[in-house]
Structure 1
Amino acid sequence: MSVGIVMLVHEDLHRAAQLARHWQASDCPVVIHVDKSVGQEGYKGLVRALADLEDVMFCERHRCEWGRWSLVAASQTASEMMLGNFPDVRHVYLASGSCLPLRPVGELVDYLKERPRTDFIESATTDDVPWTVGGLDKERFTLRFPFSWKHNRRAFDKYVKIQRFLRFKRRVPRGLVPHMGSQWWCLTRQTLSAILEDPDRDKYDRYFKRVWIPDESYYQTLARIYSSNIESRSLTLSKFDFQGKPHIFYDDHLQLLRRSDCFVARKIWAKANKLYDALLTDSEHAMKVAEPNPGKIDRIFSKAVERRTQGRAGLVMQSRLPNEGWENGVTASQYTILEGFSDLFLDFEDWMARATGARVHGHLFGPERVEYAGREKTFAGCLSDSAELRDYAPADFLRNLLWNTRGERQVFQFGPRDSQGISWFLARDPNASVTVISGAWSVPLFNSNLNFSEIRKISAEQQKIEADHLDILRSYYTKARVHIYTMADFIQSPMEPLQMIIDDIGSRSNRRLTEAPRMVDLTGFSQFLQNLKNQGMHPYLMGDFPSGNDPRHSATATRKPYLVK
């Protein structure tokens, strides 16, 4: 025998028994520490289940708690029993009851036999450790931590603040340079016995009893004193998320674990029967011999952390509702908002759909209903045309619509008659492309059969709404691509803005436009605006329409000629 296994067990005792038998079957003695919080009945059942194995022993029990000294005490007790009872053991491997060998134990024994003087323990100074979570790296060695972080968090945090306020600092024992690393190590007999038999052990133990999470620093620090050859890495594959919590491996991670070529992995779900059946197997079905290389799967874990912390652009759902500004992209794809176009042009939606091949909607935020393309009652993802449902969460409604139609450009109309609660969302979305013909909302009023006093009132209301909306679009915080034209400027030369919109959407053809959609009849519109002025309402958003001159446009009257082939 050359490798001894120290197992720390606190739950799933049936798996611990299965693992102990697997280790012992390869002539590796096992010393098991069972957490004192485990009931006597469960503990005695585990002892009986392994009673037939001579090289499996149970050490004195400690009540263990995460982040406290008790975990180090448990490993010390078990290691002392291992060294005292199995003199042929050359390496001691620390594992838990949820650690699962990924390769035949014989390969681990041979690997360590070729490296008889090498200690495998992750050990780095606090300046070189990037994985500490919670803001306590150097301070975990200079402050006191008498309170449990897990069970008495308020007292823990308050006591840390008091010590910081008083500028209290503990003195690190002379000769020690604090190091940190994974708690799962594999040490040689010489190094481990030197740590446990050190004449200054009592002094070191007293110091580390007040260090936070000492199981990640006790052996990692002391090994630097006694080891002649440290490889600063763990032979156990353990991955942690961005919160410092360990990843749990399930049945569908089998191929991922095999790709790592590591000897042991934690933390394995106790009900992952497929993993246990596949990996606790004979050597004929084991993995090929290879150097452990957990870096081969680091990319997958990095991607998982990125997906969990950032999510997918435009995806907001019950299981992931990020705070405002924390989204990884406000919406899933680019889209276009056209304001005033359907008021100024006849059958504009159909013309735009033919010209671009995009899905062109009406007023998605109209007051009566959601005007989907073709005026459907439901749209992608069973989105209803109910204005009430839409206005309950207008931003989420638009996110869902864009998420459900990924790959297809969406275009919709907007104006002062629509629900304005979406304005800031549109302005701050980099995926939005907004083109406004300001004042075009007055054209339907011009062609309406309402009393002029009512037209004046509605015009004043809509002009104020559009003015506020334009202020938002011109805001410093706006990230959307915004183009604003007064109605007077636009009708003088409509081709260039229309061509720009079509180029932005990406039309089916790269040919230039030769004619604009048919504009509504604006005969008498200048006098209409003058009548509004005469009634005390100043229609300034339309631009400069000289009195008595009706606006006219020509599809061929452009600012620059277009070559048509």
Structure 2
Amino acid sequence: MLTKHGDKIAIHVDKSAAPAVWSQIVEELGDDPNVAFCDRVKCGWGEWSLVLATLNALKMARSKWPDATHFYFISGDCMPTKPRAYIARYLEENDKDFVEHNDFYESDWIKTGIKEDRLRYRHYFNERTRKALFYGALKLQRALGMERSTPKGLTIYIGSQWCVLRRSTVDKVLALTASRKDIPRFFATTWIPDETYFQSLVMHVVPREQVENRTLTFLAFSDYGLPLVFHDDQYDLVRTQPHLFTRKVSENALSLRERLRDLFSQDFDRMVTADTAGALFEYVTRRGRVGGRYTERFWERGGKIGRGNEMLVVVCKKYHVGKRFMNAARRAGGPMAHGYVFDEDAGALPALGGIETSTPKRGRHRRAVLRMLLEYHDAERLMICLDPSNIDALRDIRDDQCNLRVMELRTDIDDDYLLGHAKRAGLLPDEARLEDCMPLIRTLDRQFRDDSNALRDLNLAHFYTLNLHDSADLAGEQIARFLDIPFKNGREMAVAEMPFN
């Protein structure tokens, strides 16, 4: 869409993407003279790799197209919201860099998580994938007094990573990066440096009056950090905002995407705009109906976990065993995890617009809940626990386009456990004795066995089982395959945690 109208695109494709993805992109776009591919980096959320990938793209674009006037940072889910003629005129008439920059220490731009410690200490581990090591290393540095100072003469600013830079500014930033090795070295161990690197360097090399403190890409977040995703019924909203692009446009918003493509191809360069999104968002959320200005509650329209996302489901009747396995799996390198999301109310969930408030509500919108949890964590993998009797929830997940892995934990279920289960479920009074209720106990025992058989009848492609007394090698292999981690890590987890009971 963009190169068709003469724009140039320098593309970075995450090195961790599947080889087929890279091959398809090169096959589709490799012959376009307006497309260039930069050196690939394996990226991790919050890591220096995101800045390095952006620098690689800038260097490629700067060398291949020396006459380019502006360098606009976009992602794969961005779309233009104005005609190309409008965008060209706007940039020509506003001879500035557009970089959101807020004082790192004085502003309240960071809503959750660590703040000063992002800079004060070195971060070698990813908080999302290796949480224990991340916080362990941070705690150790605090204890040893290993604080560091920022690069000499550099004031740290923070803001959105979606910048628009003039050619002269790009040249200055790249020159500073090359001449001051201490600067990239500092940010390489800073947590979430894509929110501080360009923001700080641009303000260091460009006079303040030449930098507009805002982004030209329309993006919005809820109070709990969940990004707003735009859908077909929000064309007028994104079109009339005073921005040139928007993110995140839903992959399912086919009509919105088509209308924005058509708008971009138009040749008029004047439009009436109004910065109304903030007030509108506050209005609809105050009413308690997210998206209520346009339609019914957003989860009632149906949700999908989504192609490319992966669900890991731990199935276990004993809830404390399932949660213990889940927590051990997280420590072994597994994904973000929540407990028995569809079976109990005790587990803490982030605010998801009200859908998280009760088990029945979550049960009516299972895939929407899981999709929102993935988006909340900005993750592509998520692990939950599930009661074996909740086979409908597993069928619902299986019927989505996501990848599904299931681990069944088979524990000892004796008569005493069945008696306790019957009392907890309200099937028997607390004073009931085992010898007085054996018919019910036998019925529950058959039900539990039937639940396990129903799980096997799903014929899942990635189904794994742990028995109570499996050997470390057998258990380690099952754990490693389920979590998609090295066998060594799976075996270490088995040795440390088996038997699960």
TM-score range, shorter chain: 0.5 to 0.7
How high is the sequence identity, in percent, across the aligned residues?
31
- The match for 2:226 is 245
1:318 matched to 2:299? The reply is no
1:298 matched to 2:340? The reply is no
Cα deviation for residue 285 of structure 1 reads 6.4
Q: Describe the shift of the 1:124–1:32 C-alpha distance in structure 2 as closer, same or farther (beyond 3 A).
A: same
Query: Unaligned 5+ residue runs, structure 1?
Result: 1-21, 322-391, 393-565
Q: Describe the shift of the 1:94–1:48 C-alpha distance in structure 2 as closer, same or farther (beyond 3 A).
A: same
SS at match of 1:35: coil
Q: Describe the shift of the 1:289–1:300 C-alpha distance in structure 2 as closer, same or farther (beyond 3 A).
A: same
**Which residue identity is paired with 1:299?**
A
Match of 1:181 among 159, 176, 182: 159
Residues 124 and 189 in structure 2, CA contact (< 8 A), matched pair in contact too: yes
- The match for 2:77 is 98
Q: Deviations over 1:225-271 (max 9, x none)?
A: 11131001000011122332322222222222123232101111112
Cα deviation for residue 311 of structure 1 reads 6.9
Which structure has the greater CA radius of gyration? 1
- The match for 1:146 is 124
Cα deviation for residue 52 of structure 1 reads 3.7
- The match for 1:120 is 98
1:260 matched to 2:241? The reply is yes
**Which residue identity is paired with 1:138?**
E
Query: Unaligned 5+ residue runs, structure 2?
Result: 291-350, 364-425, 427-501
Match of 2:148 among 158, 170, 181: 170
SS at match of 1:96: coil
Question: Separation in 1 of the partners of 2:281 and 2:191?
Answer: 27
Question: Separation in 2 of the partners of 1:286 and 1:253?
Answer: 22
Q: Deviations over 1:248-300 (max 9, x none)?
A: 2222222221232321011111121011111001568699834765x411123
Question: Separation in 2 of the partners of 1:97 and 1:187?
Answer: 19
Question: Separation in 2 of the partners of 1:267 and 1:311?
Answer: 18
Q: Describe the shift of the 1:296–1:157 C-alpha distance in structure 2 as closer, same or farther (beyond 3 A).
A: same
Q: Describe the shift of the 1:148–1:311 C-alpha distance in structure 2 as closer, same or farther (beyond 3 A).
A: closer
Q: Deviations over 1:369-413 (max 9, x none)?
A: xxxxxxxxxxxxxxxxxxxxxxx9xxxxxxxxxxxxxxxxxxxxx
- The match for 1:208 is 187
- The match for 2:41 is 62
Residues 141 and 178 in structure 1, CA contact (< 8 A), matched pair in contact too: no
Question: Separation in 1 of the partners of 2:23 and 2:353?
Answer: 47
Residues 191 and 227 in structure 1, CA contact (< 8 A), matched pair in contact too: yes
Match of 2:214 among 210, 233, 243: 233
Question: Separation in 2 of the partners of 1:211 and 1:291?
Answer: 41
**Which residue identity is paired with 1:43?**
W
Cα deviation for residue 26 of structure 1 reads 2.3
Provide the alpha-carbon RMSD of the alignment. Answer: 2.7
Q: Describe the shift of the 1:252–1:153 C-alpha distance in structure 2 as closer, same or farther (beyond 3 A).
A: farther
Question: How high is the TM-score relative to the length of structure 2?
Answer: 0.55
Cα deviation for residue 167 of structure 1 reads 3.9
Q: Describe the shift of the 1:151–1:291 C-alpha distance in structure 2 as closer, same or farther (beyond 3 A).
A: farther
Cα deviation for residue 196 of structure 1 reads 0.8
Q: Deviations over 1:118-152 (max 9, x none)?
A: 10000111244323133322221111111111111
SS at match of 1:319: helix
Paired residues for 1:34-73 under 5 Å: 34-73=13-52
Higher relative contact order (CA 8 A, sep 6+): 2
Cα deviation for residue 301 of structure 1 reads 2.6
**Which residue identity is paired with 1:30?**
I
Residues 81 and 243 in structure 2, CA contact (< 8 A), matched pair in contact too: yes
Question: Separation in 1 of the partners of 2:150 and 2:279?
Answer: 37
Question: Separation in 2 of the partners of 1:194 and 1:146?
Answer: 28
Question: Separation in 2 of the partners of 1:195 and 1:234?
Answer: 18
Question: Separation in 1 of the partners of 2:272 and 2:90?
Answer: 9
Match of 1:110 among 89, 102, 122: 89
